Amino acid sequence: MSETGFDKKYYQKKTGKKYKAEPFLFHKHKGEYKAEPYNPNEDGGEYRLARAKGGRSEKPIRKTTTGKGANYRKTKSGAGMTAKGVRAYRAANPGSKLKTAVTGKVKKGSKAANRRKSYCARSAGQLRNSSAKTKNDPNSRIRQARRRWKC
């Protein structure tokens, strides 16, 4: 694999050109590759290069838990992100499907019920792999979040 996440031999076979190890982004368009030079000063350049490399490039949001600009809940109020924090994250990362916690009553087998079930399974693994102090502390962030999700 090359530094941009594409197979060099496949690129050569498809385009008939030798691969140059320059920072180019290759887009498959109608069965052929189109090369686009990488410009880090261009808007979203770093994000697009990271996506081309096959990695995740998320733009961070402020991890505040107090005041009007709070994007995360305090531990005592259930940990996790606030609705405002989710909106901020989605604005910073277009195409994101992040949603707030499922906290209400849900019908069995509904999308929300399945999201809850999935979160509970994932967070059980996080809890299992955490330190003994966190496991036994009823006020740890993971336990508070699980309580908020009704796990």
pLDDT digits (tens, 9 = 90+) for 85-131: 899 888 888 888 999 999 999 999 999 999 999 999 999 999 999 99
- Domain boundary among the residues 17, 32, 52 is at 52
Quick one: 121 and 94 in the same domain? Answer: no
Residues paired with residue 52 on neighbouring β-strands, in sequence order? none
Quick one: 95 and 111 in the same domain? Answer: no
Quick one: 133 and 105 in the same domain? Answer: yes
Quick one: 121 and 96 in the same domain? Answer: no
Quick one: 94 and 73 in the same domain? Answer: yes
pLDDT digits (tens, 9 = 90+) for 10-49: 767 777 776 665 555 555 555 555 555 555 555 544 445 4
Task: Considering only residues 3 and 137, tell me which one the structure prediction assigns the higher pLDDT.
Answer: 137
Quick one: 35 and 79 in the same domain? Answer: no
Task: State how many domains the chain has.
Answer: 3
Contacts (Cβ under 8 Å, ≥6 apart) of 150? 102, 103, 116
pTM value is 0.56
Domain residues for the domain of 150 are 101-151
Phi, psi for 119 (deg, rounded to 5) = -60, -45
Q: How far is CA 123 from CA 47, 102, 120, 142, 147, in A?
A: 28, 14, 5, 7, 11
Q: Does 23 map to a domain?
A: yes
